[in-house]
């Protein structure tokens, strides 16, 4: 009789989404549940770590129950359990880790600690047929990185941000403009009615010979223009949003072009296979950014692969999948949650200030 495909329960709780998913090794997503804390944090204009940890604690059991119910399964159908072990807000990561370890111990099944960034990095392989190695632009609220994904646990980082992440820039600028939280979708919506050429904003590091990013100066420039134009009540918010969106997209496209050259040098295409560029993380759902990167990919002969929105923003299916990618790894029961957990610990930091891992 054919062996039954492995069924993985995944748990994600590193930021402001409490999520549980059930994914099979054959890539069937049986359930992908997300309880968002956006309404809770919107009152504060951003994520408050202590509030987030308490909310994860309150919601996690129900989210897992919902995942099992929607999959038409019981705990007896689960073969292994995975949870985000970092990087992220430590209170939330601890809630997910302890829950997963408890399930693993009670059911006597394997437990996997998953790097949240690896969840994003491998998500295109759940949604699409993408072979290793590929070039990844990871753009989320906490990270903006360009990496070669060589295999599970094998990453070469070409660039990272010297200060704010792209999603963080969207969030902080939206807050300054009074557009609410989370900022990315709010800026994208406001930008629809705006003229992207109306307000001059800088493109930090554009044209520089490395693959790093910097968004803090852009955020300051926007804040200055906003106040010159009379603040959030008087300024043309649609024009500001459109101008900001193209500036961020321009920086992402320029730095990605630089990384493509490095990737092709390190991994020359074999047997006529087309190289692949993947964009993952919440910012990858932005349509203007997608269009810009599609142009860059076409011009450099890359195929662009972007997971569907539900797998791009934080979710537990990508956590379950990252564990399924390394099923044979040793059990992680001794693992302790990590607030910082770089994908490529060997990567040299960019010049300048503190570096995000
Ligand atoms: O990957 P994600 O859900 O969580 C993290 O791991 O950070 O990304 C969240 C980030 C937030 O900064 C949010 O503003 C941004 O992704 N984002 C967007 C859009 N949707 C979400 N940024 C630009 N345009 C969007 N449509
Ligand atoms: Zn994320």
Judge whether 339 and 90 are in contact, CB under 8 Å: yes
Instruction: Identify the pLDDT of residue 298.
Output: 98
Residue for token pair 């919902």: 66
Nearest-CA residue for ligand 1 atom 8 is 282
Residues 6+ apart with CB under 8 A from 255: 146, 159, 205, 206, 211, 212, 213
Residues 6+ apart with CB under 8 A from 179: 186, 187, 190, 237, 241
Nearest ligand, CA 114 = 2
Establish whether the linkage from the previous residue to 291 is cis, with ω within 30° of 0. no
114 lines ligand 1 (CB under 6 A): no
Q: Ligand 1 test: best mutation among 282, 311, 314, 357, most atoms within 8 Å of CB?
A: 282
Distance 167 CA to ligand 1 centre (A): 5
Nearest ligand, CA 142 = 1
215 lines ligand 1 (CB under 6 A): no
Nearest ligand, CA 139 = 1
Closest by Cα among 224, 223, 247, 236 to 193: 236
188 lines ligand 1 (CB under 6 A): yes
**Residue 328 is encoded by which pair of tokens?**
């044979």
Enumerate residue ranges in the chain where pLDDT < 70. 1-3, 41, 352-357
Instruction: Identify the pLDDT of residue 355.
Output: 45
164 lines ligand 1 (CB under 6 A): no
Q: Which residues pair with 139 in a beta bridge?
A: 144
Distance 141 CA to ligand 1 centre (A): 5
Q: Ligand 1 test: best mutation among 182, 247, 280, 322, most atoms within 8 Å of CB?
A: 182
Q: Ligand 1 test: best mutation among 46, 87, 124, 170, most atoms within 8 Å of CB?
A: 170
170 lines ligand 1 (CB under 6 A): yes
Residue for token pair 């101008």: 243
286 lines ligand 1 (CB under 6 A): yes
Q: How far apart are CA 188 and CA 156, in angstroms?
A: 31
332 lines ligand 1 (CB under 6 A): no
177 lines ligand 1 (CB under 6 A): no
Residue 235: other Cβ atoms inside 10 A: 18
Distance 247 CA to ligand 2 centre (A): 22
Instruction: Identify the pLDDT of residue 306.
Output: 96
Residue for token pair 């998913």: 21
Nearest ligand, CA 280 = 1
* Phi–psi pair at 118, nearest 5 degrees: -70, -35
Instruction: Identify the pLDDT of residue 1.
Output: 46
pTM of the model: 0.93
- DSSP letter at 213 equals B
Max CA-CA distance within the chain? 72
171 lines ligand 1 (CB under 6 A): yes
Instruction: Identify the pLDDT of residue 41.
Output: 65
Instruction: Identify the pLDDT of residue 49.
Output: 80
Distance 200 CA to ligand 2 centre (A): 30
Neighbouring C-alpha atoms within 13 Å toward the C-beta of 181: 18
Neighbouring C-alpha atoms within 13 Å toward the C-beta of 355: 16
pLDDT tens across 153-193, in order? 999 999 999 999 999 999 999 999 999 888 999 999 999 99
**Residue 141 is encoded by which pair of tokens?**
């609220």
Residue 75, burial from CB neighbour count under 10 angstroms (0-12, 13-18, 19+): middle
* Phi–psi pair at 3, nearest 5 degrees: -70, 140
Q: How far apart are CA 221 and CA 298, in angstroms?
A: 31
What domains can you pick out in the chain, each with its CATH number? 7-123+311-324 (3.30.420.40), 131-306 (3.30.420.40)
Instruction: Identify the pLDDT of residue 357.
Output: 45
């Amino acid at each position: 009789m054919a062996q039954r495909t492995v069924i993985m329960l995944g748990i994600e709780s590193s930021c402001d989404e409490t999520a549980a998913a059930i994914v099979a090794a054959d890539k069937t997503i049986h359930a992908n549940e997300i309880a968002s804390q956006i309404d809770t944090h919107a009152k504060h204009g951003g994520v408050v770590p202590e509030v987030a940890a308490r909310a994860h604690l309150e919601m996690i059991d129900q989210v897992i129950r919902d995942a099992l119910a929607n999959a038409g399964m019981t705990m007896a159908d689960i073969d292994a359990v995975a949870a985000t072990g970092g990087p992220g807000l430590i209170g939330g990561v601890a809630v997910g880790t302890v829950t997963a370890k408890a399930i693993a111990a009670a059911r006597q099944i394997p437990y996997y600690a998953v790097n949240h960034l690896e969840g994003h990095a491998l998500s295109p392989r759940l949604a699409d047929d993408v072979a290793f190695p590929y070039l990844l632009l990871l753009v989320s609220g906490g990270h903006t990185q360009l990496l070669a994904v060589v295999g599970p646990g094998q990453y070469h980082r070409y660039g990272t941000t010297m200060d704010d992440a792209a999603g963080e820039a969207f969030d902080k600028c939206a807050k300054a403009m009074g557009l609410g939280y989370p900022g990315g979708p709010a800026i994208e919506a406001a930008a629809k009615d705006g003229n992207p050429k109306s307000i001059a904003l800088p493109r930090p590091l554009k044209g520089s010979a490395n693959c790093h990013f910097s968004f803090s100066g852009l955020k300051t420039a926007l804040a200055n223009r906003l106040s010159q134009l009379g603040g959030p009540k008087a300024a043309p918010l649609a024009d500001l949003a459109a101008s900001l969106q193209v500036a961020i997209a321009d920086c992402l496209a320029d730095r990605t072009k630089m990384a493509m050259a490095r990737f092709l040098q390190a991994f020359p295409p074999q047997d006529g296979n087309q190289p692949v560029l993947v964009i993952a993380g919440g910012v990858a759902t932005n349509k203007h950014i997608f269009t810009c990167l599609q142009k860059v990919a076409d011009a450099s002969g890359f195929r662009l692969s972007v997971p569907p929105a539900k797998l791009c923003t934080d979710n537990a299916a990508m956590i379950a999948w990252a564990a399924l990618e390394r099923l044979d790894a040793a059990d992680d029961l001794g693992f302790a949650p990590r607030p910082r957990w770089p994908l490529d610990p060997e990567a040299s930091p960019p010049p300048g200030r503190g570096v995000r891992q």
